[in-house]
Chains A and B, each alone.
Chain A
């Protein structure tokens, strides 16, 4: 068991990636993920790894594509505007069935937006992280410890299902320091990658990493095969924390750093006698529908709390087939909802019962 250390979220995530067997990091500077790349630039040369500062986010993501094609655990990190530039390579990696890790330490948007914490890339991450019929695995940590723990899971599932995985963090999680326990290096199980391009050595026909299928039938066959995998993932890999939801009349749905504030509001409401619970998705794709369906058995009403204009709200409505009202409270980039604000929303929802 490793000791507890005090680390910044960005740095802890970087160290966790290294301990999970990542030796190839390709990045480009952008606030507020800078510490992650800086940490990699310090560590990688000491352990025989690669840190490369690319000429652009586009190039960095395509370097990940190349390294992933060669079968290694490769990653890149960025923040919102930079992630937009990576969507090209993400789509190609989905189409070529390549595993990799992409970290988005979100900031406010659209455009150059701001540099403070935000959750405004939920739609991009879960609905359209690139062009075409595709999904990527999306993990939403709420603490520095989860920044660490979800890295191992993200790499493992990416390898298992041969698809990109994203850690959707935010500027708050990236910048804050918390005590964290890191996994021991060497505990990582690496899967065989017979599809990788490392030279056929005269032992097999050539491998081709490819996303181009000019025959429509062939293209549809590959996409449908991928969607069978997606259906399996939706059934087995969705993760959520259900906090005080068993008897809850009102359920808050919130993820990431924002969910921790919502949790404080839940406790405050409970003290006032309002039965409130929290469903906190740890995977945003696949979306933890079953947890919400279960919560809806008791709950009269749902409230989404996000640092955006309410991008997860429709997913909650769909998960429970619009069987309960789902309202929203949130702020945009840099304005962090306070426990008091959320409590006020809960009281509004509970009406005279509060």
Chain B
């Protein structure tokens, strides 16, 4: 019997996410990209605090568990010490856009030659569903029981839009993984982000608009529906910055 689908080599056989969580798809895509590019043996991944943290058990490459929000700083340290390694961070929204905003913005503005995989599901999953910097106006969470009141709690952060204003950002794209077509597009974006780094063209980020069925209190299918109806209008998919063609990188050296 022919094998038509199997675990990719750099995805280790562990279950680290809740049932139905889109993290599983995204983690797999990153592992597939590593294997297709043949870089798993020289890649170092950074898993910071949040649902992303146990990714150090899931990815087959060398891994570092970083303090909350500091993954881009840790990645910077690794990349500066080992420039021939491929270094990526795998971060959630609270990590990247709240406690780690400074690290994110400055890694991007330095044009740090790293890849950031940003999983935006508009909630703090690991701690049980509190308001995230990307929670939508009116969104009910454990810490916004009456809905996110922008007068008191402020507005959601649009990360790709923010980072695309910085000269140091080479590539920024927002994708999602709610159907086969979008999964394929997401994989293509992740691959391009890694390739940008391999070509020494600077900072790349892929934001994946994702779901949290557990803390949203929805089935996985309904969660994707909620995401499409509520998140995608606020966080439009697309390429926000692509200077890969302009940047000289390694090829021109």
> Looking at chain B's contact residues, is the secondary structure mostly helix, strand, loop, or mixed?
helix
**A183: CB under 8 A from chain B?**
no
| Set of chain B residues within 8 Å of A207, measured between Cβ atoms | 62-63
**B61: CB under 8 A from chain A?**
yes
Find out whether the CB atom of B41 lies under 8 angstroms from the CB atom of A54: no
**A67: CB under 8 A from chain B?**
yes
- Count of interface residues, chain B, beta-carbon cutoff 8 Å: 35
Find out whether the CB atom of B80 lies under 8 angstroms from the CB atom of A67: yes
Find out whether the CB atom of A74 lies under 8 angstroms from the CB atom of B81: yes
| Set of chain B residues within 8 Å of A160, measured between Cβ atoms | none
Within 8 A of B (CB), among A200-216: 200-203, 206-212
| Set of chain A residues within 8 Å of B81, measured between Cβ atoms | 24, 50, 66-67, 70-72, 74
Find out whether the CB atom of B77 lies under 8 angstroms from the CB atom of A70: yes
Q: Which residue of A lies closest to B75 (CB)?
A: A66
Within 8 A of B (CB), among A50-70: 50, 52, 54-56, 58-60, 62-70
Q: Which residue of B lies closest to A91 (CB)?
A: B67
Q: How far is the CB of A148 from chain B (nearest CB, A)?
A: 24
Find out whether the CB atom of A55 lies under 8 angstroms from the CB atom of B80: no
Interface size class of A (residues with CB under 8 A): 35 or more
| Set of chain B residues within 8 Å of A209, measured between Cβ atoms | 63-65
**B73: CB under 8 A from chain A?**
yes
**A336: CB under 8 A from chain B?**
no
* Cα distance, A213 to B62, chains bound together (Å): 18
Find out whether the CB atom of A199 lies under 8 angstroms from the CB atom of B63: no
Find out whether the CB atom of A63 lies under 8 angstroms from the CB atom of B44: no
**A88: CB under 8 A from chain B?**
yes
Q: Which residue of A lies closest to B103 (CB)?
A: A59
Find out whether the CB atom of A62 lies under 8 angstroms from the CB atom of B65: no
Residue in contact with A56 in the complex, picked from B57, B65, B102, CB distance below 8 Å: B102
Find out whether the CB atom of A197 lies under 8 angstroms from the CB atom of B62: yes
Find out whether the CB atom of A70 lies under 8 angstroms from the CB atom of B78: yes
| Set of chain B residues within 8 Å of A139, measured between Cβ atoms | none
**A92: CB under 8 A from chain B?**
yes
**B59: CB under 8 A from chain A?**
yes
**B66: CB under 8 A from chain A?**
yes
* Cα distance, A26 to B107, chains bound together (Å): 13
**B70: CB under 8 A from chain A?**
yes
Chain B 87-131 against A: per-residue CB contact (8 Å), 1 yes, 0 no?
000000000000000110110000000000000000000000000
13 A-B contacts (beta carbon < 8 Å): A58-B73, A65-B67, A66-B75, A67-B81, A70-B77, A74-B81, A92-B67, A198-B62, A199-B61, A200-B62, A206-B60, A208-B57, A210-B63
What 20 new A-B contacts, CB under 8 Å, besides A59-B106, A65-B77, A69-B78? A55-B103, A56-B102, A59-B70, A59-B102, A65-B64, A66-B73, A66-B74, A66-B75, A67-B78, A69-B77, A70-B81, A88-B67, A88-B70, A197-B78, A198-B44, A199-B41, A201-B42, A206-B60, A206-B61, A206-B63
B binding-site residues for A, Cβ under 8 Å: 40-44, 46, 53, 56-57, 59-67, 70, 73-82, 85-86, 102-103, 105-106
A binding-site residues for B, Cβ under 8 Å: 24, 26, 50, 52, 54-56, 58-60, 62-72, 74, 88-89, 92, 96, 197-203, 206-212
